[in-house]
A and B are shown apart, each in its own frame.
Chain A
């Protein structure tokens, strides 16, 4: 019984990280049909944001609040990744709607650039740049729209950008002077130390639950609930679904499809940033951290069935539990006296990487029977 719970918990823990990472991808891929290979790098940006926030909270002035830096990191990571995602959508992906394979190649190029960006630009300056972008795009939305009428519009726009640039330079300079570790470019991996309350484990009925894992599970649950509420209950969620189902009809009915595109992509990217916070709590963060998640994320989306949130949830937990089952060789402890050849086969796959081999092979086999995943989208078109 205890074994069952332990196994289930580990599986759910693995699955919730996957789900967190795949949620944004499911939205972007499922609703927009865009293959975003830079998704892993958006996760990485979220993880680095957590690192920077943590360093900021180590400053003497903020030291008393150190314990709750994660709570600040989550929205910040959402904003950072979301803004980069929106920028990506506006500049590159917008030109490539309708040709998923092209978006795949272009976003791969973006992911290379982002990786090298993290390696060769000091984090302090990157933070300044992002702040400048956020405020540059955000100010015109915040200022009263009356200001932008007439001849002054260009002047005000210019002024808001100048102000944003000033803000960015201030932040970059301040961070670089205060925190040595992010004042220079650094290609090495960095470690995020969890606050005191997130270390150790929670003892319950002879079992220990590692607290970071629990936090991630809670984060995931909240993210899934939030996203499903947003998509199913809110006005903009309804618009997103409408555009997904029939773009030209929605356009005719007055839904601003371009805004919907930006919003969808921004939310998907922002969720990647939140996943980055989760990833940073689990291990060290490097420029290549995204690459290790991206294939798994795509497998989750494909297995779950495209455009279906519940499929994604189920698929990621299934993959998590299976990975734990195979990777830890649980079958052996349940059934100690299994025949020798079978036992050696189980042992052969009882490492993390071999478990991945096995799980992916199982997914490919599964897709032989259900080519469109667990919950296929129903349509009336003849799939040739």
Chain B
């Protein structure tokens, strides 16, 4: 289904027009609350894209993306806090007063500059991810051990950020809605609408960037690392370098996602670094389809929407559903929903459905023909309208047959019509 979609260029163009139209029109259609949620989920999709890059393509399962997500968020929140600190007592953000801090901690100073912040949002998480990753990859720690170490790192950062009231307001985090940007409150509807548009555009840009990355030679190396690292090493490549680079890139993406999420959710807090959050991020990719970029985006957006809808209706049942979903996806759909669509999935099912319809159609045609034959042998049957019934059955049989043909290019056997039309008057 998707393959034929790709072949038809104009369909693709239509799809893009639809997407752009949806993005432009979304603020008019969706209520403010839902729009805000959609914007948040799109920023989570950026993180998911990063995870897809390192896990789906490179085979590194990181359970610590929350670190980089939170760092990006904190960078954005610190700039916003400082940008209108002029109105505040002492010229420093308000919460410092609670802990008796009189002077701005040193590392806050650069965040007064918008340009520095715009760079810091992705550079700091990216560099940190690169350094941490490099240290781990250098020792050829991989697989499960890598996952456990990233989770431990996550806990380290969580505890650290949680405990530092005097530096970054500890557990409470940094709030942004009451701060101003371009003379508007960040929490206002107008700003939120713009944030949504910015997020949507950024998601598309990053998707395009990653698509270009994974389709090139660099992407080939990543996939080679995933599939057989020793062989790649023996072929003369240095996997450590590539892994470090790609982990840094994913960290940078998480940072961007975190910054966009923070301005839309209204606060950056250590909760971004809780263990469940980071595992959830991985799950979005797993459900959507690892190794498919669209899958990561769809997974993040759809699961989060499902989560918010289900938690509104039945707050207790979401964890059951989520847990069940994980188990189902891991055991039954290891390639995720999109991977399933592209590979075995619906084509196979459509094929089977078509096959059934086909058989049913042939049956109907045969029945119809038989009836008509009988009606010619026994004229009195004609008066009962058997002929019309036969014709009607034949008509249905043909209709089912024409629905039932699903021809897929590839490994699936083509199903042909076997029913011959032999209508006798």
Contacts and interface: CB of A to CB of B under 8 A. Distances in A.
Contacts of A116: 316-317, 319-320, 323
A112 B322 contact: yes
A360 to B, nearest CB: 5
A367 B163 CA distance: 26
B163 A112 contact: no
Contact of B330 (A109, A298, A360, A382): A109
Interface in A357-384: 357, 360-361, 363-364, 367-368, 371, 382-384
Contact-size category for A: 35 or more
Contacts of A100: 143-144
B233 A384 contact: yes
Contacts of A92: 327, 331
A96 B160 CA distance: 35
A105 B188 CA distance: 38
A241 interface: no
Contacts of B11: none
Nearest to A383: B140
A368 B140 CA distance: 10
Contacts of B331: 92, 95-96, 106
Contact of B144 (A101, A111, A353): A101
Contacts of A302: 145, 148-149
B61 interface: yes
A363 B152 CA distance: 10
A360 B132 CA distance: 13
Contacts of B75: none
A153 interface: no
B356 interface: no
Given A92-B331, A112-B319, A368 B147 contact: no
B141 A357 contact: no
Interface string B288-330: 0000000000000000000000000000110110111111011
A108 B279 contact: yes
Q: Is the interface of A mostly helix, strand, loop or mixed?
A: helix
Contacts of B275: 291, 294-295
B326 A360 contact: no
A224 interface: no
A367 B326 contact: no
Contact of A109 (B135, B155, B156, B327): B327
A353 B152 contact: no
B189 interface: no
Given A96-B330, A106-B326, A116-B323, A356 B159 contact: yes
Interface string A177-212: 000000000000000000000000000000000000
A119 interface: yes
Contacts of B135: 364, 368
A95 to B, nearest CB: 5
Interface string B143-169: 111011101110110011011000000
A354 interface: yes
Most buried by B among A294, A356, A382: A356
B326 A384 contact: no
A102 B323 contact: no
B286 interface: yes
A226 B145 CA distance: 28
A299 interface: yes
Contacts of B325: 109
B127 interface: no
Q: Is the interface of B mostly helix, strand, loop or mixed?
A: helix
B316 A119 contact: yes
Contacts of B326: 105-106, 108-109, 112
A35 interface: yes
Nearest to A291: B275
Contacts of A344: none
A104 B62 CA distance: 12
B144 A112 contact: no
A113 B149 contact: no
Contacts of B282: 105
A164 interface: no
B334 A298 contact: no
Most buried by B among A102, A109, A295: A109
A120 interface: yes
Contacts of B7: none
Nearest to A382: B230
Nearest to A354: B163
Contacts of B144: 33, 35, 100-101, 104
Interface string B209-241: 000000000000000000001100110000000
A110 B325 CA distance: 10
B152 to A, nearest CB: 5
Contacts of B149: 302, 364, 367
B283 interface: yes
Interface of A: 33, 35, 37, 92, 95-96, 100-102, 104-106, 108-113, 115-117, 119-120, 291, 294-295, 298-299, 302, 351, 353-354, 356-357, 360-361, 363-364, 367-368, 371, 382-384
4 shortest interchain CB distances as A-B pairs? A109-B326, A384-B230, A113-B323, A116-B319
21 contacts: A96-B330, A101-B143, A102-B334, A104-B147, A105-B279, A105-B286, A108-B326, A110-B327, A112-B320, A112-B323, A113-B319, A113-B323, A115-B319, A119-B316, A299-B148, A351-B163, A356-B159, A360-B152, A360-B156, A361-B156, A384-B229
Given A353-B159, A367-B139, A384-B234, 5 more contacts: A104-B61, A112-B323, A295-B151, A299-B152, A367-B141
